[in-house]
Amino acid sequence: MGIPIAVSHKGLDPEDHPWSVGPIVMVGYPVAMDRVSNADLILALGCTFNQVTTASYTDRIIPSKVKIIQVDLDPTEFGKNFPMELGIIGDVRAVLQDTIEKLKPEGPKRQNEERLQNLFQAKAQWEQRLLSEGAESDAVPINRLRLMRDLNTVLGKEAILAAESGATHGWFYYGYKAYSPILEPGDLSCMGSGWCMAMAAKLAYPDRAVVSVTGDGAFMMTLNELATAVDNKIPLVVVVPHNSVYGNVRRKQIEHFEDRFAGSELYIPNLAEVAESFGAYGERVEKPAEIIPALERALASDQPAVLDVIVDGSREHLEPPVKLRVKDRY
């Protein structure tokens, strides 16, 4: 149909698809937020327009005068958070199949070709921005975007990824390219649950690499489950960005409480040594050049593995560099 596809949950469509523009959340892709914030019509497929997707139910992502066609199995979702033009009760796949059959698209027209070229250009500029913000950085401590880029390099398209909540979740959304649905704690943001879900995924898909990107604070909340992974011989890899702080909470304390800090600084031990004491594979990563070989060793260990990655914990690196610049052009 020549319609750009934005997603409310990362990985619902492959990000290398020509019409994919990425996630719309508070740390979403500028290309996606720009397209959605300037849309005159949104076809919402099973989207609940929750707090994260809509930047706290404002018009910063979902424009105030946009017309919305909402497709959902549950009619109580219709118009619950944003007024809609039309509601369609049904399974998304069935509704889409019927729509395509009714409209019978005749192939790309010139307008769609021009639109697609504009998308390619915008996404190329977005990629350059990621590089300039640190995706190729050799800085020490490690830049989070460099960590995300190297994970993409090693894991490719077949790996199953789990993301955590909080600032770690934000960096994952911002810097990792997803090609299939990811595992994430969901809207309730239960910290420490991401890598536990990854354990179950490894049992369900033993032939696929399974990696969880879990913040140090979140990992400490469910550290005891490392014993579960070792006891049941579940060879997943947990990549822990280690900065000894609750980044999301710390950022809010800086912005709203005049640097009055409470409970946001953490004592985090050497997690590689802790992993080894459990009987798992453990390795500490302190330099960018060590990321890829360490990840390859962890995947090859055929054990539960923990990579303790020391990342930049300075103020400007607590969360991704996004402030809902939805009117920018890239």
Query: Higher confidence at residue 70 or residue 327?
Result: 70
| Angle ∠(217,196,238) on CA atoms, nearest 5 | 60
Distance CA 37, CA 44 (A): 14
| Angle ∠(253,256,262) on CA atoms, nearest 5 | 25
Query: pLDDT tens-digit profile of 186-244?
Result: 766 788 899 999 999 999 999 999 999 999 999 999 999 999 999 999 999 999 999 98
Q: Give the torsion through C-alpha atoms of 81, 171, 169, 11, to 10 deg.
A: 70
Counting residues of the chain whose pLDDT is more than 90, the rounded percentage is: 70
Q: For position 330, what pLDDT does the model report?
A: 32
Is 248 a residue whose pLDDT tops 60?
Answer: yes
Pairing assessment for the beta strands 210-213 and 237-242 based on DSSP bridges? parallel
Q: Give Cα separations from 246 to 69, 199, 243 (angstroms).
A: 38, 24, 8
Short-list 273, 186, 204, 283, CA closest to 237? 283
Please state which CATH number belongs to domain 134-317.
3.40.50.970
Q: Helix, strand or coil for residue 153?
A: helix
Q: For position 110, what pLDDT does the model report?
A: 63
Mean pLDDT score, 26-48: 93
pLDDT, averaged across the chain: 91
Contacts of 56 (CB under 8 A, 6+ apart): none
Query: pLDDT tens-digit profile of 111-147?
Result: 688 889 999 999 999 999 999 999 999 999 999 999 9
Examine domains 5-110 and 134-317 and report if their fold is the same: yes
Residue 169 has a CB neighbour count (10 Å cut-off) of 25
Short-list 198, 117, 119, CA closest to 164? 198
Q: For position 106, what pLDDT does the model report?
A: 64
State pTM to two decimals: 0.90
In this prediction, residue 323 has a pLDDT band, given cuts at 50, 70 and 90, of: low
Most confident among 21-25, 31-35, 61-65, 302-306 (mean pLDDT): 302-306
In this prediction, residue 326 has a pLDDT band, given cuts at 50, 70 and 90, of: very low
Q: For position 300, what pLDDT does the model report?
A: 97
- Domain locations along the chain: 5-110, 134-317
In this prediction, residue 328 has a pLDDT band, given cuts at 50, 70 and 90, of: very low
Token pair in block for residue 164: 């955590």
- The residue assigned the tokens 């032939």 is 207
Distance CA 183, CA 250 (A): 25
Counting residues of the chain whose pLDDT is more than 70, the rounded percentage is: 95
Q: For position 111, what pLDDT does the model report?
A: 65
Backbone phi, then psi, for 167, in 5-degree steps?
Answer: -65, -35
Q: Identify the CATH homologous superfamily for domain 5-110.
A: TPP-binding domain (3.40.50.1220)
For the chain, give the number of residues.
330
Q: How far is it between the farthest Cα atoms of the chain?
A: 62
Q: For position 165, what pLDDT does the model report?
A: 83
Mean pLDDT score, 27-53: 92
Distance CA 262, CA 247 (A): 13
Contact 237, 211 (CB under 8 A): yes
E strand or H helix that includes residue 89: strand 86-89
Is 325 a residue whose pLDDT tops 50?
Answer: no
